[in-house]
Structure 1
Amino acid sequence: MTSSLTRLTRRSLLAATFTATVFAASACGGSSSASSEAGEGGLTEVTVALSWTPNTDYTGVFAADELGYYKDQGIKLKVIPYSSTAPETLVAHGQADFGFSYQAGVTYARAAGQDVVAVYAPNRKGTYAISVSADRDDIQSPKDLDGKTYAGFGSPDEGPLLKYVIQHDGGKGDFKSIALDTSAYQAVYSKKADFTIPVVTWEGVEAERSGKPLKNFAPTDYGFPDQYSVLLASGQKYLDANPEVAKKFLAATAKGYSYAADEPDKAADLLVQANKAQLSDAELVRASQNLLASEGYLNTEAGHVGVQDEEFWKNYGSFLYENGLLTDSDGKALTAEPDWTTYYSNDYLASGN
């Protein structure tokens, strides 16, 4: 079972270890990509690196594989389990063809000079929230978090986000922070902290099922720019060398996520079937997938499947830049705001999908 600690601590690890992982990946040698070669049964192998243990962020990919969508496109999928090297770094150095990330992750990596570009958005809105235990009657909105204790993950964007939301609700934005050493909902229910930032479509569901429901405040309700909390990324070098394979891979992936939106229970079961050792609570997976499907999270609208929005990139990217959170390959703060259109691409998605 995946917790807030494991899911979101990767954000802080990612932000802190780009330089080290660049050297580590470089030491691994040349690309392990097999896309240019026909593999078993004449299929082209495409590798995808996960950003953590299997969960409903990845349902579309596993469903597409289990249902034969990749095979129909001439592709053999190879999933690379999460390790100490971030997917963004694996992608940038040719150790994976595609990798799961999120908007800040792609932004941190690309700003630092890594060859990473987002190519598919599984979700059309973010899945993070600012949350407290549901029984906290003294906390009715973010301004009530002034003076309270936040259980965090160490990612540099957390503090500025929280300060922004609290201030836009009429508060001062002053709070204490501690490092999270347990799951999000356990932290707030054990009184180790007053609030945290869980993934509502997974930890929120997990908390509800554990009898410890959360009260959630969506940052976007207080003027904070929405963000892509899940993205599929690749490297431009790989995309330039394998444009047709990339398009076929993303076409099958889009079909998988559309299936997950239309048949959430069946798709959840396919995810569990493919990951029995890691996903022992099938009901949690079904509940999470149904929430994603029923609450409009999945980016499967006809004609817009997987498409990334320029405003998402501009608005959230500007927030990261204006708060001095973006650094170059030497660790120095960027002195000019990036051209956000270079950080993502919709060019490899099927038109009219």
Structure 2
Amino acid sequence: MRALTSVLHSAAVLLGVVLLLTGCSAGSGGSGPETGQKIRVALDWTPNTNHSGLFVAQREGWFAQAGLDVEFLPYNSTSPDTLVGSGAAEFGISFQDSFTYSKGAGADITSVMAILQHWATEIAVKADRADIQSPKDLDGKTYGGFGAPYEVPKMQQVIKDAGGTGDFTSVTLGTSAYEALYAGQVDFTEPFVAWEGIEAQLRGEPLKSFRYTDFGFPDAYNVLLIGHSPWLAAHPEAARAFVQAAQRGYQLAADDPARAAQDLQDANPGAFTEPELVTRSQDMLAKDYLKDAQGRVGPQTLDRWQGFSGFLVDSGTVVDANGQPLRARPDFATWFTNDYLGQPT
């Protein structure tokens, strides 16, 4: 469900691509969306329930009603942060963690909507590990990771918050981390509980997981919808039309998960071999992740950005375009906007 090893390249490479391609990205003005306005959306992985609201909006005809011709760019080795930052896509799926590193390095991206309002990944171990009852028990164990710079600082802090020292061995395995966990080759990893967590249950390999926030770690917008900043400025009406249609799709996913799961599968025939995985995942996202504390879909707050992204900057792992650690927290209020969202009904 994720491609963490490809989400982040080095800061210098990312900025180089951005500077090379940004010049042709903004296009000319436009006070409103023209009929058939082309919009490209970069996906972060193969279609899954994190994308359901987008496919719902497509299947229900809401993009077309808004005068938009929306194309989903299939996942490839170039991350959505890079594609959107360069102008090769107008919008894309991102994550608050990867976004923080890309934006810190100068990527021309803005978060326009929180798709998931909370962490949907957790620390997971095999359910039969009686010796691991808390993250503090992970001291001295082996973590199967994905090679992203935020993983170790986050895991260290959660373990410390739980009363441990934060000392563990980390090996980069990518999506092979799950098989390594099942085989006992690593002790813990970080799955999406609404996808790999359910997948593990369906294959008879149940997991036991720990939420970061249960131990005082800051919450985060696990999945984001991001836009190319110059394009947003040049096409505000088209941007608003797209974001509100997508928001409507995710609202339906939150209110009627069965219909959303069906729309997702109908839009991607043959992509899902286990319909139960899709329906159970969509149910979980609708119940626990798509809505904020006020029951709204999409909004973001400065507190949430300052909490987790601030932690990453303070850890010294977020670097600028020259590869140097950021010495001060940026103005996170400039990293996101709620201006394109529709008002709650």
Please give the range of the TM-score, normalised by the shorter of the 2 chains: over 0.9
Contact 1:38/1:45 (8 A) holds in 2:
no
1:162 aligns with 2:148: no
- 1:78-157 equivalences under 5 Å are 78-157=71-150
- 1:308-323 equivalences under 5 Å are 308-323=300-315
Kindly provide the amino acid, as one letter, of the partner of residue 14 in structure 1: V
Kindly provide the amino acid, as one letter, of the partner of residue 193 in structure 2: V
Kindly provide the amino acid, as one letter, of the partner of residue 343 in structure 1: W
Contact 1:106/1:343 (8 A) holds in 2:
no
TM norm structure 2: 0.93
Task: Tell me the equivalent position of 2:244.
Answer: 251
Task: Tell me the equivalent position of 2:196.
Answer: 203
Task: Tell me the equivalent position of 1:51.
Answer: 44
1:212 aligns with 2:205: yes
Across the aligned residues of Structure 1 and Structure 2, the Cα RMSD in angstroms comes to 2.2
- 1:5-24 equivalences under 5 Å are 7=2, 10-24=3-17
Return 5+ residue gaps in structure 1 as ranges: none
Contact 2:14/2:105 (8 A) holds in 1:
no
Pair 1:75–1:107, CA change in 2 (3 A): same
Task: Tell me the equivalent position of 2:65.
Answer: 72
- Tell me the SS of whatever aligns to 2:131: coil
Task: Tell me the equivalent position of 1:347.
Answer: 339
CA distance in 1, matches of 2:114, 2:169: 34
Contact 1:116/1:236 (8 A) holds in 2:
yes
Kindly provide the amino acid, as one letter, of the partner of residue 30 in structure 1: C
- Tell me the SS of whatever aligns to 2:225: strand
CA distance in 2, matches of 1:25, 1:110: 11
Contact 2:11/2:319 (8 A) holds in 1:
no
CA distance in 2, matches of 1:304, 1:155: 30
Pair 1:303–1:140, CA change in 2 (3 A): closer
Question: 1:254: how far off?
Answer: 1.1
Deviations 1:257-278 (CA, angstroms, capped at 9, x unpaired): 1111122122111111111243
Question: 1:38: how far off?
Answer: 7.3
- Tell me the SS of whatever aligns to 1:228: coil
Task: Tell me the equivalent position of 2:184.
Answer: 191
Task: Tell me the equivalent position of 1:285.
Answer: 278
Question: 1:194: how far off?
Answer: 0.6
Question: 1:16: how far off?
Answer: 2.7
Deviations 1:286-317 (CA, angstroms, capped at 9, x unpaired): 111111112x2112777732001211100111
Task: Indicate the larger mover: 112-121 or 277-286.
Answer: 277-286
- Tell me the SS of whatever aligns to 1:335: coil
Task: Tell me the equivalent position of 2:25.
Answer: 31
Kindly provide the amino acid, as one letter, of the partner of residue 31 in structure 1: S
Equivalent of residue 172 in structure 1, options 132, 154, 165: 165
- What is the aligned length? 343
Task: Indicate the larger mover: 158-167 or 25-34.
Answer: 25-34
Pair 1:293–1:144, CA change in 2 (3 A): same
Pair 1:33–1:46, CA change in 2 (3 A): farther
Pair 1:200–1:136, CA change in 2 (3 A): same
Contact 2:29/2:234 (8 A) holds in 1:
no
- Tell me the SS of whatever aligns to 1:16: coil
Kindly provide the amino acid, as one letter, of the partner of residue 183 in structure 2: S
CA distance in 2, matches of 1:35, 1:214: 51
Task: Tell me the equivalent position of 2:263.
Answer: 270
Contact 1:143/1:171 (8 A) holds in 2:
yes
Pair 1:77–1:182, CA change in 2 (3 A): closer
Identity of aligned residues (%): 43
Kindly provide the amino acid, as one letter, of the partner of residue 342 in structure 2: A
Contact 1:48/1:79 (8 A) holds in 2:
yes
Question: 1:17: how far off?
Answer: 3.6
Equivalent of residue 231 in structure 1, options 204, 209, 224: 224
- Tell me the SS of whatever aligns to 1:83: coil
1:325 aligns with 2:317: yes
CA distance in 2, matches of 1:334, 1:25: 19
- Tell me the SS of whatever aligns to 1:208: helix
Return 5+ residue gaps in structure 2 as ranges: none
CA distance in 2, matches of 1:234, 1:79: 14
- Tell me the SS of whatever aligns to 1:336: coil
Kindly provide the amino acid, as one letter, of the partner of residue 309 in structure 2: G
Question: 1:216: how far off?
Answer: 0.5
